[in-house]
Amino acid sequence: MERIRYAGPTTIKANQLFRCAVEVRVEKAIEEGGMLTIASRHTSDIGDAQGVSRDLENYVEVKADRPGVSLAVTGTPGGHPWNRGFSVEVKAGALAPGDVVRVEMGGDRGFRAQSFSEERSGFRLGIRRGKGGPWEVAPREESRLFTVTGAEPAIIRAYVRDVNGVGRRTLSVKAEDAYGNVASPGELAVDVVLDDVRFLGEVRLKGGLAIADSLDLPDDGRWHTLSVSSGDGRFHSRTNPFGPCLAEGYGAFFGDIHGQSDLCDGTNGPGSLYAYARVAAGMDFASVTSHDMELDDGAWAEVADETRKANRPGDFVAFLGYEWSGLPDEGGDNNVYYLSGEGPLVRNSAIDGPWCVPGVRSERIDLRETIRRIRASTDGFMVIPHCGGRQSNPDYHDPTVMPVFEIHSTHRNYEHVWAGLVDRGLRLGLVGGSDDHRGMLGDCGVAARERYFSTHCGLAVAMARELTPESIWDAIMRRHTYATNGPHIVVGFSSGDRIMGDEMAVPAGSPIAFKLRAVCHGFFQEATVFRGNVAVKSYRGGDQENQIRSFEAEFVDEALPGASMYYLRVAQADGGMAWTSPIFVEGT
């Protein structure tokens, strides 16, 4: 099988114009109508190749050293997930063994790099030796040709993590370029000020990141934020709010338990993703959930090993997981998680093709059979339905292992799917997840060019007793969770001693009171109480609308006969949202 010889920069900044050349020495003949593909992954927003004008971006010129051979740049007919990039078609003549095809990228203006950083980026070679013939594809490892780094700092972001829910707090600071990446390394010092009044100290960023755990952050029963600013005023950020728990005995822990690695169609390895979630995104817990059909046994072992390394009870929790990628009539997309750090990889929709991992095969089984096989191996697992490439199918709902539904991801908001689950009477809680494919687990951003995954990420918040795998797991299984579409909003929703996700029985016709609270990561706009799919009460900011950061109210309703559910949605003025798991009420 032929290989790419690459000549160009080994380090490229995100979204920068660059020039390079690739050469392919032909090993076996390529006939007229045959094709060479210089492929990029479908998640990439690298420039679209064109062979028309050297004066425009993304010009590609192709040459063969054999006289009489005519080549042309065309679209990319590669297979998932390598279906971006471009192809070189043999329009006339034929290529013989030993011939060299040279592809020069950039012309006079340059070729536009992808807008997200990547440790091991590049192009993958595919060859079709005749028109309509089969594809031969170089190993994925040979596609790792250069590194894409963040560009210059544009903004900073800062998060306070209440790592135990009892007052031990750390500050994470990220210098970010215009595309959401950790900015290119460089020294940057920032001042930290409490509530714009008291100077707490200086933090120095190295490699665009910093964690400070020695600052004197108050634990005085009130809510606070920190201002983080550079001395020249160029960079400024306000942290998420931190303060007392909104449910006695519980901490609000933020996590992202849905993201893809470069073991499938994502970006960067599992270890890097866990480090990013903890350090750059301010997450308390996370899971790397690569697609089942692209994981061979060695890759699954790597995910498990990196997950074990990332687990630091009391500081950061990582769950072993993967995305079971089924067609809708087989169950749709669902994420599978294991509490113990061990569990089987039960595949379904493995794509049997040269662009995927060689040797990965699977029976075509549905989600029900998958759950049966997992249950035969372990009892410490859960399944979370997801809507993305394929919508999850509620006909396969199993209440014993499916406690929550992912209502928001980087694909979009799925309130309309949630409404259908409510109509079916399913007792599900709510979480968010990013489904990040760009190496920014817990903090994914919108790419420079609208291609795929262009919405902000979702987050899962667990109301847990402590930051341990067992406690976070228990919170999710009990539906003591809520979802956000990215911001670190703190939400409380309770009735007496029952919190979001709980069940309660009351006499029909009697009053039932709910306590509503929110401390926003931005300005409060509206809070809405839903009974089932009906909005029964809304609260606005009054005279201070879009100028207040917190909200508190009590809502009283008359208990209906039979089963009903109540949940709270909070909206910020900047579009940030949160959805609580319901409280389920049985009117007796």
User: Could you give the CA distance from residue 465 to residue 440 in angstroms, rounded to a whole number?
Assistant: 27
pLDDT the model gives residue 294: 85
SS3 (DSSP) at 259: strand
Least confident of 51-60, 426-435, 534-543, 571-580: 534-543
pLDDT the model gives residue 220: 85
**pLDDT per residue over 444-496, tens digit each?**
766 676 666 656 789 999 999 999 999 999 999 999 999 999 999 999 999 99
pLDDT band at 57 (very low <50, low <70, confident <90, very high): very high
pLDDT the model gives residue 373: 96
- Tokens 């959805």 belong to 579
If we measure between CA atoms, which residue out of 40, 177, 137, 144 comes closest to residue 48?
40
If we measure between CA atoms, which residue out of 254, 225, 161 comes closest to residue 458?
254
Q: Indicate if the pLDDT at residue 430 is higher than 80.
A: yes
Q: Indicate if the pLDDT at residue 359 is higher than 70.
A: no
Share of the chain above pLDDT 70, in %: 95
Average of pLDDT values for 568-584? 96
Least confident of 18-27, 245-254, 335-344, 526-535: 245-254
**pLDDT per residue over 251-302, tens digit each?**
999 999 999 999 988 899 999 999 999 999 999 999 999 998 888 899 999 9
Average of pLDDT values for 117-128? 94
pLDDT the model gives residue 165: 57
Give the mean pLDDT of the chain. 92
If we measure between CA atoms, which residue out of 240, 185, 241 comes closest to residue 443?
240
What's the pTM value of the predicted model, to 2 decimals? Answer: 0.94
Q: 277 to each of 173, 243, 383, 436, 528, how far by Cα in Å?
A: 12, 22, 21, 11, 30
SS3 (DSSP) at 393: coil
Task: Annotate 51-67 with b (16+ C-beta within 10 A) or e (fewer).
Answer: beeeeebbbbebebeee
User: Could you give the CA distance from residue 430 to residue 403 in angstroms, rounded to a whole number?
Assistant: 9
**pLDDT per residue over 126-141, tens digit each?**
999 999 889 999 998 8
Note the residue count of the chain. Answer: 588
Residues 463, 468, 473, 474: is their CA dihedral positive or negative?
Answer: negative
pLDDT band at 73 (very low <50, low <70, confident <90, very high): very high
Average of pLDDT values for 188-201? 92
